[in-house]
Each structure stands twice: as C-alpha cells, then as structure tokens.
Amino acid sequence: MIRVMFCGGTLPPFFEAPAEERKQVFEMCKQVFGGWKERYGIEVLATLDDDQIQIGPTTGHPWTFYIICDVPDYETVPKVVDQLRHGDPPLFKYIKLEARMGRPLEVIGLAI
C-alpha cells in the first residue's frame, strides 16, 4: 500500500468557459474522482478543497483541492491521473492533477 496525495488545480480555461461548459466539467469531475474504492481499490482518507478561500486559476501550490489516500500499488497512480486525458474535451484542459507518493509516518515509527 502506498500513501498518495493527489493535488489538483483549476486552470484558466475553466474560468473562461461559459456556465454550461463549467457544469459539464463538474459532472466529468464527479465521474473521474468518484468510485475509486470500487474501480481501483483506493481508500480515500481525507479531502480538502480551498474553493471558499481562493478563486481563480491554480497552476501549483497552493492547490485548489487535495485527496489523501492509500493506493494498492504504484501502477494504480498513473491510471488515476490518466483519466484526465480522456473525454471530449479532455479534463486536463480544465484541471491539473499531480500525485505525491510516500509512506505513512507510522511505518517509520512516528505515529501522529
């Protein structure tokens, strides 16, 4: 099991898009970011969304949203990221997604 933090940022084309297109992007996001347990065996541990305290494009830190989870193996992480490459238009036009991988601190004796 690998501890992963997916970091997502909303890109300029999302804010430049008409309301109907933004709604379509939101629906696509629900499909991409939903059902990870069933599809990939991912256990989502925590989420954080900064949308109430920041607005506008996010191309790096601080990110718009974070998803912290336990992922079965390394090969699963690219599969999750790859989801943004599909669709019409592809979701990566609107959302940037990066992954940080490591291990829980408990593994090295630092229980928090």
- 56: left (phi > 0), else alpha (psi -120 to 50), else beta? left
Is it the case that residue 59 has pLDDT exceeding 80? no
Say how far apart CA 48 and CA 16 lie, in whole Å.
Answer: 24
pLDDT at 16: 95
Please tell me the pTM assigned to this model: 0.89
Q: What is the CATH number of the domain that holds 59?
A: 3.30.70.1030
Query: Is position 66 within any domain?
Result: yes
- The string of DSSP codes covering 64-107 is SEEEEEEES-TTHHHHHHHGGG-TTTTGGGTEEEEEEEE--GGG
Query: Is position 79 within any domain?
Result: yes
Categorize the per-residue pLDDT at 104 as very low, low, confident or very high, splitting at 50, 70 and 90.
confident
Query: Is position 30 within any domain?
Result: yes
Average pLDDT, whole number, for the chain?
91
**Structural domain harbouring 62:** 2-101
Q: Which residue has the higher pLDDT, 87 or 38?
A: 38
Query: Is position 112 within any domain?
Result: no
Query: Is position 106 within any domain?
Result: no
Is it the case that residue 108 has pLDDT exceeding 90? no
Is it the case that residue 107 has pLDDT exceeding 90? no
Cα separation of the two ends of the chain: 18
- Condensed to tens digits (0 to 9), the pLDDT of residues 66-83 reads 999 999 999 999 999 999
Q: How many domains does the chain have?
A: 1
pLDDT at 109: 77
Say how far apart CA 45 and CA 58 lie, in whole Å.
Answer: 23
- Condensed to tens digits (0 to 9), the pLDDT of residues 31-57 reads 999 999 999 999 999 999 977 777 788
